[in-house]
Amino acid sequence: MEKCGFIAILGAPNAGKSTLVNQLVGQKVSIVSPKVQTTRSRIMGIAIHENAQLVLVDTPGIFEAKKKLDKAMVKEAFDASAESDAHVLVIDVTHPKLPLAQKLCEQHKKGLIICLNKIDLIEKDQLLKIATTVHGFENVSHIFMISALLADGVSDLTKHLASIMPNGPWLYPEDQITNIPMRSWAAEVTREQIFLQLHQEIPYNIFVESESWEEYDNGSVKISQAIVVARDNHKGIVLGKGGQTLKKIGQEARLELENQLERRVHLKLFVKVEEDWQERSWALRAFGIGV
Ligand SMILES: Nc1nc2c(ncn2[C@@H]2O[C@H](COP(=O)(O)OP(=O)(O)OP(=O)(O)O)[C@@H](O)[C@H]2O)c(=O)[nH]1
Ligand SMILES: [Mg+2]
């Protein structure tokens, strides 16, 4: 009998949700950075364990959102949660934000699986203190202690998730690992580099769009992408002195694309200014990824 279900991966920004999804899938489907609010929309990673297909839904971090954009991101996380068969709350043990976790547990009547993540970074006795506190929260069905980065404890989590999936046919072909269209995924790879190479507010004010994707007979692919910035002065920052910053973003993104696509990639990046892109078409464009 086949089993299949949706698993929402929830938690505060930077808790390690995307790292965990990538580790469960065994390949990188969702971008990761040391900055908060890297993930903007729901990204699905698909994993298989024995007869169970696990559809992991990576979500934007949950926090007290005030701006329109931020509220839309947090709503994505809650919507994903409402539609799922299982719910994993990822807690960064180095910044556990326990009041937020407690509140989420209280609201979550269906039961939450808690992953205490980044255990590679703290002492055992401190971890036990956090585990004891979390154990007292309402609606907690299981607690796992993991390092998503080092894959420590992740296989136990996989086994548990597989065991609780409902009976039903697999929803995706066996070799599919994400539901994101290639073009959107390629845009995410560039956005990840922008997060890694640029500082302060810039990464939060950009949008990357793959405008064309051309395949050649020799197996190579040419991808053109627009980096859309909200202000004129941001354009200069993305370009850098003599275009050096953009060049570096392009080089690193191309390497990652070549690595994952296993073929030669020509990546053409250009920067354009669209002052009101966030207001005008935020939901359509950013949440158009896959869902
Ligand atoms: N040391 C350590 N670092 C980790 C671990 N898991 C994640 N990280 C790091 O934590 C940072 C944030 O990881 P992400 O996976 O992007 O976190 P996220 O929860 O998806 O963040 P948002 O999408 O911004 O909400 C990255 O620098 C990761 O490498 C872990 O188990 N140990
Ligand atoms: Mg993320």
pLDDT tens for each residue of 105-151:
998 888 899 999 999 999 999 999 999 999 999 999 999 999 999 99
* Residue 281, pLDDT above cutoff 70: no
Choose the residue to mutate in 24, 44, 121, 149 for probing ligand 1, maximizing ligand atoms within 8 Å of C-beta: 149
Per DSSP, the residues of the chain read --EEEEEEEEESTTSSHHHHHHHHHTS--S---SSS----S-EEEEEEETTEEEEEEE-PPP----SHHHHHHHHHHHHHHHT-SEEEEEEETTS--HHHHHHHHHH-TT-EEEEEE-GGGS-HHHHHHHHHHHHTSTTEEEEEE-BTTTTBTHHHHHHHHHHHSPB---SS-TT--B-S-HHHHHHHHHHHHHHHH--TTGGGGEEEEEEEEEE-TTS-EEEEEEEEESSHHHHHHHH-GGGHHHHHHHHHHHHHHHHHHTS-EEEEEEEEE-TTHHHHHHHHHHTTS--
Q: What is the pLDDT of residue 291?
A: 32
Q: What is the mean pLDDT of residues 188-198?
A: 95
Q: pLDDT tens for residues 31-41?
A: 999 999 999 88
Q: pLDDT tens for residues 88-118?
A: 999 999 999 999 999 999 988 888 999 999 9
Q: What is the mean pLDDT of residues 234-244?
A: 94
Ligand 1 centre distance from Cα of residue 45 (Å): 16
Residue 280 pLDDT level (bands cut at 50, 70, 90): low
Residue 286 pLDDT level (bands cut at 50, 70, 90): low
Average pLDDT over the chain reads 92
Q: pLDDT tens for residues 253-266?
A: 999 999 999 999 99
**Residues in contact with ligand 1 (CB, 6 Å cut-off):** 11, 13-19, 32-34, 36-39, 60-61, 117-118, 120-121, 147-149
Q: What is the mean pLDDT of residues 78-85?
A: 90
Counting ligands in written order, the one closest to the CA of 147 is 1
Q: What is the pLDDT of residue 210?
A: 92
Q: What is the pLDDT of residue 274?
A: 87
Q: pLDDT tens for residues 205-215?
A: 898 999 999 99
Q: What is the pLDDT of residue 258?
A: 96
Q: What is the pLDDT of residue 203?
A: 87
Counting ligands in written order, the one closest to the CA of 92 is 1
Q: How much of the chain, in percent, has pLDDT values that exceed 90? A: 78
Choose the residue to mutate in 9, 10, 14, 89 for probing ligand 1, maximizing ligand atoms within 8 Å of C-beta: 14
Taking the CA of residue 19 as reference, the ligand 1 atom at the shortest distance is 15
Domains annotated for the chain, with CATH where assigned, are 3-164 (3.40.50.300), 182-286 (3.30.300.20)
Pairwise pLDDT comparison (67 vs 237), residue with the higher score: 237
